[in-house]
Chain A
Amino acid sequence: MADVKKIATRESYGHALEELGAVKPEIVVLDADLKASTRTSYFAAKYPDRFFDCGIAESDMMGIAAGLATTGKIPFASTFAMFAAGRAYEQVRNSIGYPHLNVKIGATHAGITVGEDGASHQCNEDIALMRTIPGMVVMSPSDDIEARKCVKAAAEYVGPVYMRFGRYAVPVFNDPDMKFEIGKGQLVREGRDVTIIATGIEVASALDAAAELAGQGIEAEVINICTIKPIDREIITASARKTGRVVTAEEHTVIGGLGGAVAEVLGEEQPTRMLRIGINDRFGESGKAGELVAKYGLDGAGIAAKVSAFVKG
């Protein structure tokens, strides 16, 4: 998808909040000294009375969001995935998840595509952490179009939501009129030989891979799973039944994230041979985002090579 327009989903998050600010006065946006990076700066500029910088204190920010939610506000607590899901995990669990408060967590800079900052800031564990919290909705949109719809759906939904966005500009490939529903997967390419289930920026990579595989005579079905929890069990099992082989692709550890969630579904409902593509139980490293995606085999070529071997193996 080299010729397609590219936008980072953090950008979509910022714009969606800015648009929501005009129609939902209950929305309050919190940040932890990263408003330029998370793009909450757009909302802050337009609605300064509803934007609060909590400073470099993410744990406190999650508690403040919880307190705001008890009074009927819809707080969007924003920071990097590393600090939202990692540092503030217990605050998210106990102050937001346990009382099931209407807090939205906007986590940007997820995964290795943080790039040059290196492993300390590359959160490859957030999906796994967040989906263990009872009642937490976990979403990982694939492009600008889906990310904006995801933020708007989160604002309408009542309950805690974790949203994962990236720093790296990725192709805008979804139909602007796509229907978005929390908990629903999306069939983005039909195929018969293998199913590639992807989330976040890996959906575009999976489509690239599918195009390459077609040239080898392998017809891959591609499913976009934006909502990792609650996951769309039907779309996963139906495709697995059809192709008999399932590959997952995520910019996240292969432990406990999308791959884990799909394995849980298939293990219970439709035992299927699987291959999980993602970060293989290791930390990331510094480098340009594109270089890292290639090195870790998360681009179209990397996925195609693994899927091809998997199908033939």
Chain B
Amino acid sequence: MDNLELKRKANAVRKGIVTAVYSAQAGHPGGSLSAADIYTYLFFEEMHTGPDRIGDPDRDRFVLSKGHTCPGLYSVMAEKGYFPAEELKTFRHLGARLQGHPCMQYLPGLDMSSGSLGQGISAACGMALSAKIDHRDFRVYTLLGDGELEEGQVWEAAMFAGAKKLDNLVVIVDNNNLQIDGDITQVNNPYPIDKKFEAFNFHVINVADGHDFDQLRAAFREAKQTKGMPTAILCKTIKGKGVSYMENQAGWHGKAPNDEQYRTAMEDLDRIDAELGGAN
């Protein structure tokens, strides 16, 4: 996909996020929107996976360590054809496959259940280790929040990945700088993030704009060429990206828009479609 197609796709993913959270009247739009371009790049450019490869032992794996931003994952999965986009409206409803946090028992196509922060990265390490044991070529991608880096288990897993030289593992950090209680530097400062991952024997790539597909492309290519150590791609992003009133607002971490806010959000995203010369 070229950048324009990716941008249109990402905007469709954002509309799905807003729709899912609005329909549920619950959920986490901020960190879903900040990672929408990352989700889009992973599922449409980077990973060898898709609804036709469920159960394929050689597919690439994705673990959403920051499981609360599953509206983003569900939305990109719908775009990818795992299920109809209409199902996004069932998010968090009783009986839905789209649970509040991802559960592989409910939704085929999920590589791991997640939601309790800090745990997904460990499971991703296990998957990457399995590929090494069997000399398989699949790669494992896991997306973490920056606030999530406060969980000690993240660093247990990072130490393991570095020690075992899991170069088939890519840890992506959605560095939107905000967590529930506010600015991450005010809550319990995880910076410097790059030096920490370096110290844990990762190859570290800083992406100055995690919404720029050229930068994402360059980073993931570099990760693929990195041998003998895992890669951490640290993406600077804007929480709530794409929805005017949600951008850079910690308050939109875990809150659903009301009717009027929903209309405004969709107008914002329609405007982006228009700028891109039409919807996806």
- The answer to whether A59 and B129 touch (CB under 8 A), given A94-B115, A94-B116, A99-B103, is no
From B17-25, B151-159, B205-213, give the one contacting chain A. B151-159
Report the separation of the CA atoms of residues A111 and B103 in the bound assembly, to the nearest whole angstrom: 34
CB distance from A305 to the nearest CB of B (A): 46
Selected contact of B159 from candidates A49, A55, A68, CB within 8 Å = A55
Out of B103, B126, B157, B163, name the residue touching A70 (CB < 8 Å): B126
Closest B residue, CB atoms, query A97: B113
Would you call B129 and A52 a contact (CB within 8 A)? yes
The distance in angstroms between the C-alpha atoms of A59 and B61, with both chains bound, is 21
Would A63 and B119 count as touching, CB distance under 8 A? yes
Partner of B129 from A57, A68, A98, A100 at Cβ < 8 Å: A68
Main secondary structure of the interface of B (DSSP, over half): helix
> Interface size of A by Cβ–Cβ distance < 8 Å?
30
Nearest CB of chain B from residue A221's CB, rounded to whole Å: 41
Q: Are B126 and A65 in contact (CB under 8 A)?
A: yes
B160–A64 touching, CB < 8 Å:
yes
The docked-state distance in angstroms from the alpha carbon of A64 to that of B159 is 12
Q: Is the interface of A mostly helix, strand, loop or mixed?
A: helix
Contact of B159 with A98 in the complex, beta carbons under 8 Å: no
A67 to B160, CA, bound (A): 13
Assembled-state Cα–Cα distance A216/B121 (Å): 60
A91 lies within 8 A of B122 (CB): yes
CB pair B123–A64 under 8 Å, yes or no, is yes
Q: Is A120 an interface residue (CB 8 A)?
A: no
Q: Mark B131-166, 1 if CB is under 8 A from A, else 0.
A: 101000000000000000000110011011001100
Residues of A within 8 A of B160 (CB): 54-55, 57, 60, 64
Is A99 in contact with B105, judged by CB distance below 8 angstroms?
Answer: yes
B79 interface residue (CB < 8 Å to A): no
**B10, CB-defined interface residue at 8 Å:** no
Shortest CB distance A29–B (Å)? 12
* Bound-state Cα–Cα, A68 to B134, Å: 11
Residues on B lying within 8 angstroms of A by beta carbon are 57, 61, 63, 103-105, 111-113, 115-116, 118-131, 133, 152-153, 156-157, 159-160, 163-164
Q: Which residues of A contact B (CB under 8 A)?
A: 28, 49-50, 52, 54-55, 57, 59-73, 75, 90-91, 94-95, 98-100
